[in-house]
Amino acid sequence: MISRISVIGLGYIGLPTAAVFADAGVEVIGTDVNEEAVRSINAGEPHIVEPDLDVLLRRVVEAGKLRATTEVEQADGFIVAVPTPFKGDHEPDLKYIEAASKAIAPKLKTGDLIILESTSPVGATEKMAEWLAAERPDLTFPQQAGEASDIRVAHCPERVLPGKILIEVIENSRVVGGMTPKCAQAAVDLYKIVVKGECIVTTARTAEMAKLTENAFRDVNIAFANELSLICDRLDIDVWELIKMANLHPRVSILQPGPGVGGHCIAVDPWFIVDSAPEEAKLIRTARTVNDGKPEWVIGKVTEKAAKLKDPVIACFGLAFKPDVDDLRESPALEITRRLGAAGGARILAVEPHVKALPSALSDLGVEQADLDTALAEADICVLLVDHSDFKTIDRARLDDKIVVDTRGVW
């Protein structure tokens, strides 16, 4: 019986997950190493922007159902939602999972369940179970005792879309990979407290690969759109018109080109596949290269236009990795703006309605934060990097005397 859940890692996934379980009546303890985030959560204020999360968090904190701490506490089920970055050479870095395992281990008791939600390379769940077992020789784990183990271990990758997390965390189907069938069943029982979607049971390794596959699929398809945008530019064809027409075919569904692929998931996860099967993962690797090359191409376009002007003013519209979010992680828009600022020779304005202050990576270079009206008044070159709603609705006449580089097909 699950009456208390511990969520380790209170970021974009962990915090909404913790709040949703708390709202279903479960006692939830969230743990994070970030003391400021813990303080803010306990005050009922999210430290991240996600639609409706503020109202939900306030409700569950006031009801005493969710509490944040910096130290892991005892629970019946532990959900690990920590980052899984890669090292410089694209090798996955599991140090946060290892640290979480070491923090959970002393609190474990017979019957407990640990679920790894972090997107992970194949084999990470087994590795987590090994780290746990090394700390607790007094308990048995699935790799040692199979179905009879004291502790259950499963992988259930998060698959929610930032911006729609509170809906998708409940509605989406879940892939539940158990180290044994009993482990999977225990995880299904936990998720069924809140999840309305189907819970599909498999092995931990298949669940790990399923998540990586979904994001690699999207990356490959975005790479196709990005490559088309380069081809169309060379051939003087409007890529957005082309894609719209091609998509009228009943079996064609091309995604949208952009300034590159950002976020903490799609730009990262395919590398986990490439790292574990480098010989075979040719297409997946190429897609990463195509998408990672797009910012450079955009910078080239802007620089070419700026070179023709005296004292050019360049306004970059959007820094986030996708529309209507504040998340700047792995953002190609941020990278393009930073590199334009670093190149010198132009005044760079950055318009990002979703952040209060520019990151120091930009302000240190002299990039100035501007509101929409100032940027439209002062810029010679307007570079649309993110299709935020605020940018879509501007009066096109205000761009008539501007040089426009539109990476999103909005203007």
> Which residues are known to be catalytic?
211, 265
Q: Where are the beta strands (DSSP E) in 58-157?
A: 66-69, 77-80, 113-116, 152-155
| Residue in 166, 171, 168 with CA at minimum distance from that of residue 51 | 166
* CB nearer to ligand SAJ: pick between 12 and 141: 12
Q: What are the two backbone dihedrals, phi and then psi, of residue 379, each rounded to the nearest 5 degrees?
A: -80, 145
* CB nearer to ligand SAJ: pick between 18 and 133: 18
For residue 369, give the DSSP letter.
E
Return the residue matching tokens 């998509």.
247
Q: Which of 67, 152, 159, 329 binds ligand SAJ (CB under 6 A)?
A: 159
CB of 156 to ligand SAJ, least distance (A): 12
388 forms part of the interface with ligand SAJ (CB under 6 A): no
161 forms part of the interface with ligand SAJ (CB under 6 A): yes
Residues 115-134 that bind ligand SAJ (CB under 6 A): 119
* CB nearer to ligand SAJ: pick between 5 and 265: 265
Q: Which of 160, 166, 188, 405 binds ligand SAJ (CB under 6 A)?
A: 160
Q: Which stretch binds ligand SAJ (CB under 6 A): 101-109, 146-154, 156-164, 281-289?
A: 156-164
The three-point CA angle 405-407-410 to 5° equals 90
* CB nearer to ligand SAJ: pick between 203 and 331: 331
183 forms part of the interface with ligand SAJ (CB under 6 A): no
The three-point CA angle 341-347-353 to 5° equals 75
258 forms part of the interface with ligand SAJ (CB under 6 A): yes
203 forms part of the interface with ligand SAJ (CB under 6 A): no
Q: Which of 76, 117, 158, 275 binds ligand SAJ (CB under 6 A)?
A: 158
Q: Which of 47, 59, 90, 218 binds ligand SAJ (CB under 6 A)?
A: 218
Q: Are 182 and 153 in contact (CB under 8 A)?
A: no
Sorted by sequence, the CB contacts under 8 Å of residue 364 that are 6+ apart come out as none
Single-letter amino acid code for the residue at 95 = K
User: How far is the C-alpha of 84 from the C-alpha of 125, rounded, in Å?
Assistant: 12
Radius of gyration of the chain measured on its C-alpha atoms: 23
CB of 225 to ligand SAJ, least distance (A): 6
CB of 4 to ligand SAJ, least distance (A): 26
Count CB atoms within 10 A of the CB of residue 26.
22
Q: Are 125 and 179 in contact (CB under 8 A)?
A: yes
255 forms part of the interface with ligand SAJ (CB under 6 A): yes
326 forms part of the interface with ligand SAJ (CB under 6 A): no
CB of 139 to ligand SAJ, least distance (A): 31
Q: Which helix (H) or strand (E) holds 371?
A: none
265 forms part of the interface with ligand SAJ (CB under 6 A): yes
For residue 92, give the DSSP letter.
B
321 forms part of the interface with ligand SAJ (CB under 6 A): yes
Tell me, by CB under 6 A, how many residues bind ligand SAJ.
Answer: 20
User: How far is the C-alpha of 7 from the C-alpha of 30, rounded, in Å?
Assistant: 5
Strand arrangement of the beta sheet that strand 381-384 belongs to: 368-369, 347-351, 313-317, 381-384, 403-406
The three-point CA angle 209-211-213 to 5° equals 65
CB of 391 to ligand SAJ, least distance (A): 13
* CB nearer to ligand SAJ: pick between 218 and 305: 218
Q: Are 171 and 140 in contact (CB under 8 A)?
A: no
* CB nearer to ligand SAJ: pick between 215 and 337: 215
Count CB atoms within 10 A of the CB of residue 167.
13
Q: Beta strand pairing status for 113-116 and 381-384?
A: unpaired
CB of 103 to ligand SAJ, least distance (A): 23
177 forms part of the interface with ligand SAJ (CB under 6 A): no
User: How far is the C-alpha of 270 from the C-alpha of 191, rounded, in Å?
Assistant: 26
DSSP 164-188: SHHHHHHHS-EEEEESSHHHHHHHH
358 forms part of the interface with ligand SAJ (CB under 6 A): no
Q: Which of 16, 77, 178, 263 binds ligand SAJ (CB under 6 A)?
A: 263
CB of 224 to ligand SAJ, least distance (A): 10
CB of 267 to ligand SAJ, least distance (A): 7
322 forms part of the interface with ligand SAJ (CB under 6 A): yes
313 forms part of the interface with ligand SAJ (CB under 6 A): no
Q: Beta strand pairing status for 27-31 and 4-8?
A: parallel
261 forms part of the interface with ligand SAJ (CB under 6 A): yes
Interface contacts to ligand SAJ, rule CB under 6 A:
119, 158-162, 214-215, 218, 222, 255-256, 258, 261-263, 265-266, 321-322
